[in-house]
Structure 1
Amino acid sequence: MIVRPATSADVSVILRFVRELAAYEREPDAVEATEPMLAEALFGAVPAAEAAIAEVDGEPAGFALFFHNFSTWTGRRGLYLEDLYVTPAARGRGVGRALLAHLAGIALDRGCARFEWSVLDWNEPAIGFYRAIGAVGMEEWTVQRLTGDALARLAGRG
């Protein structure tokens, strides 16, 4: 198994993994991203995110998509994992752990104070795995989100 930075040649694989992840998370029709959108976001003039690909026997077996956030309390940036996905055939083979270890190394190399992500509250296998590697749930925090009409209204554009 190897974990490597994604390249522009991986965009179609990344989009396939995003769609498979959406299906696993019970939102198969929610993916709006296209290959050109991901190519621009990951490899355009001003990348919004980065990705890593895990390969087993030369075949893509999973990916992690991440970006930097910032903590005013620590005065340092952090690494935020947006998506982690391992194909069903590769689960239980250390692929997820290898991807997370790769990102943890990036976080340390870049002087990040934190490595964070969210997990669906019903995804017990993932939660158990995260606890086993030492991750701590932020029980007092909840994610807030504005999209669509609510976002436009708040901006005074709707």
Structure 2
Amino acid sequence: MTAGLTLTVRPARPEDVPAVVAMVHELAEYERAPDQCHLSAEQLAAALFGPAPALFGHVAVDDADRPLGFALWFLNFSTWAGTHGIYLEDLYVRPEARGSGAGRLLLATLAAICVERGYRRLDWSMIDWNPAARFYAAVGAAPLAQWVPYRLAGPALHALAAQADGGAPATTGGAPQHPSA
């Protein structure tokens, strides 16, 4: 543990957005993909605090309320379990706070949300070379080796979208809307 560091985890607030965006960019650098990270403060603020937030965040802060780590997450739904779960999009702790328990506290907070709300699981993905795999195993998480992640992006995403509505140009108007929308 980092000596003398007292941490608290709390929900992210609008004033945390610049620090969280900076840490997202630090994470992209750590994962050797800084050119792939395009997140702006405006985008994150809209996702977290806009009229219909679909992203949620928690920050690990020191005694001065300075963010030293974060977890960004959203709800998923398991049709087999019949309940929501949490998908952890990103978990990051700044180098100076690593070993302080910040990562464990952030994960424990999300686990507590799952338990309190009756969700059955907390899912995430990680780069295969990430040494955090040992930490995840230590908290009881297991890799889902039989599942293969897929991604549709860029030109392939647009090509498939063009096939919506019988080949007519795809619009969001043709997509099913949530009853509350």
For normalisation by structure 2, the TM-score amounts to 0.84
Q: CA deviation at 1:134?
A: 0.4
What code does the residue aligned with 1:35 have?
A
Q: Distance in 2 between matches of 1:85 and 1:65?
A: 9
The answer to whether residue 92 in structure 2 is matched with residue 93 in structure 1 is: no
Q: Percent identity over the alignment?
A: 52
Q: Is the 8 A contact 2:16 2:67 kept in 1?
A: no
Unpaired segments ≥5 residues, structure 1: none
The answer to whether residue 63 in structure 2 is matched with residue 60 in structure 1 is: no
Q: Distance in 1 between matches of 2:132 and 2:146?
A: 19
What code does the residue aligned with 1:22 have?
A
Q: Distance in 2 between matches of 1:31 and 1:110?
A: 32
Q: Which residue of 2 aligns with 1:7?
A: 13
What code does the residue aligned with 2:19 have?
V
Q: Which residue of 2 aligns with 1:107?
A: 114
Q: Distance in 1 between matches of 2:36 and 2:20?
A: 16
For structure 1, which segment, 30-39 or 73-82, has the greater mean C-alpha deviation from structure 2 after superposition?
A: 30-39
* Pair member with larger Rg: 2
Q: Please state whether the residue corresponding to 2:76 is helix, strand or coil.
A: strand
What code does the residue aligned with 1:36 have?
E
Q: Which residue of 1 aligns with 2:128?
A: 121
Per-residue CA deviations over 1:60-79 (Å, capped at 9, x if unaligned) read 11000000000000000001
Q: Which residue of 2 aligns with 1:77?
A: 84
Q: Which residue of 2 aligns with 1:132?
A: 138
Q: CA deviation at 1:57?
A: 2.9
Unpaired segments ≥5 residues, structure 2: 1-6, 163-168, 171-181
Q: Please state whether the residue corresponding to 1:16 is helix, strand or coil.
A: helix
Greater fraction strand = 1
What code does the residue aligned with 1:13 have?
A
For residue 23 of structure 2, the aligned residue among 2, 6, 17 is 17
Q: CA deviation at 1:105?
A: 0.6
Matches within 5 A, 1:19-58: 19-58=25-64
